[in-house]
Structure 1
């Protein structure tokens, strides 16, 4: 293990870039030194970590498995160093905070502004992504906390509910239902839906709501951004189940869904058993204090 340790960061650097020359330049070491280090690492492990195509590389299955563990180990070392520095000055430090795309324009900026009024020295590393990707980064140690939906029901993660958000059936302004204020979701059973891609928490919630309404949605388009989906709805390409927009979007009508109860639960998640630095502990306490008033009304 002692012999392996100095080569792990070099392995991760090459694995991320998949190119020896670029990795050597960024790490400021000779390419030949880096190549020899990788060769020794593979010989020590007794497996090929890379498939080589000239100076370009790609990870083998064994390399991908090893990379996950190495990144987790190096992440733990970095977090330990960060915790030591934070202990020396609890008023400063950094919080790696993840949140859903739909919370980036209004909710998160307001939260951070309110928090920094009492903690002006704390910095943030902000990550916007869909739920599964954020939880993966949380497990890998890249994030300290994340706002996510739906509830991640898996061991190793802690989740605390903070708020809930009503979902709308979004239809084009000339749609047959556009004159209504409320609708039962079953009334859209014959519609084409535009929705987020599989893996997004909102996609899972929408699928579950349609199932509860007694139908399987006919998917016309899949995307990665809710506002892009609203644009598709405005163009008459389908309907969508979405959280409310930060500002009204022309060309669409947002209908309240009366049955089934259409909400998504928003909460904060963190890695079980992980010791918080003082900045993370302070921001976690702040988020928990916002139960029931996390989202703008």
Structure 2
């Protein structure tokens, strides 16, 4: 008999071993397990046959575990404690009231959209736990496809067969220039007018960077890159310092000091949406949060 097969035969009897070690009495062990005493006696005999050694010896009016059985019972208690903890975690995981959601999102969405969604949802389900992961659009899409995330908020929406998505809101992209820039007071600016400007861009993999490259290409030029960054706040800071121009979503409720936001003509938009793995089952907690997000109006 191999170790694995012996373990498989002993595993169903772990509660019995723990109960015997705790009570030292067959009758009380049967009560603790909620089974008739003859059933406990039969299980003791069957397990003794599997081990090839007795489990108990008489001890006054009760019983005492043999040394071999006591070692096994001690391991059974540790194993049951670990299993109990796992069961509690699994129960939380599948409960919409106390489950766990791993949500990925773009840095740009952490200012208002994500906090408002979480605030409203936690008001209904305060026991739900969230793990929040931020990164570039491509990073979020890759992590979602790889199973690291349950849901992701990205823009623009990916065209990947294994992923499903739903748009939430269309967000206008504006030209950000230093406050003293000649274009700062304009009512609108055409992309072709930016051909001679130096750009402060987000790195490759960010949705706004992809959109910027596409808009420049459509206007017939390649942007001259002065700096590249990973966060929109850094990009805006560099613009405010006079180091270039950038295309970014509106900074609410108004642009930061030193930066002017100017509409482009025609006005470009990006669609912010929720993405999940297509055709895969979700836990109730993830499903409930997805439905909450899809049902929440965005402006």
The normalised TM-score by structure 2 is 0.67
- Superposed, which structure 2 residues align to 1:252-291 within 5 Å? 252-259=259-266, 261-290=267-296
Provide Cα deviations, 1:80-124, integer angstroms capped at 9, x if missing partner.
Answer: 989952476442111100111011121111111111222121111
Query: Which residue of 123, 126, 150 corresponds with 1:117?
Result: 123
**2:200 maps to which residue?**
194
Q: Does 1:251 align with 2:251?
A: no
Q: Take 1:82 and 1:272, find their aligned partners in 2: how far apart are those partners?
A: 28
> What secondary structure sits across from 1:126 in the alignment?
strand
- Superposed, which structure 2 residues align to 1:76-155 within 5 Å? 84-86=90-92, 89-155=95-161
Q: Take 1:141 and 1:94, find their aligned partners in 2: how far apart are those partners?
A: 14
Provide Cα deviations, 1:194-235, integer angstroms capped at 9, x if missing partner.
Answer: 100111111101111112222221111111111111111111
> What secondary structure sits across from 2:124 in the alignment?
coil
How many pairs were matched up? 214
**1:218 maps to which residue?**
224
Provide Cα deviations, 1:34-93, integer angstroms capped at 9, x if missing partner.
Answer: xxxxxxxxxxxxxxxxxxxxxxxxxxxxxxxxxxxxxxxxxxxxxx98995247644211
Provide Cα deviations, 1:105-158, integer angstroms capped at 9, x if missing partner.
Answer: 211111111112221211111111111111111112111001001121112111
The normalised TM-score by structure 1 is 0.68
Aligned partners of 1:195 and 1:222 also within 8 Å: yes
Q: Take 1:194 and 1:81, find their aligned partners in 2: how far apart are those partners?
A: 51
**1:46 maps to which residue?**
none
Q: Take 1:210 and 1:130, find their aligned partners in 2: how far apart are those partners?
A: 21
Aligned partners of 2:104 and 2:151 also within 8 Å: yes
**2:248 maps to which residue?**
242
Q: Take 1:277 and 1:82, find their aligned partners in 2: how far apart are those partners?
A: 15
Q: Take 2:282 and 2:178, find their aligned partners in 1: how far apart are those partners?
A: 47
**Offset at residue 266 of structure 1 (A):** 0.4
Aligned partners of 1:105 and 1:246 also within 8 Å: no
Q: Take 1:240 and 1:286, find their aligned partners in 2: how far apart are those partners?
A: 34
**Offset at residue 294 of structure 1 (A):** 2.5
Distance 1:232 1:87, change over 3 A: closer
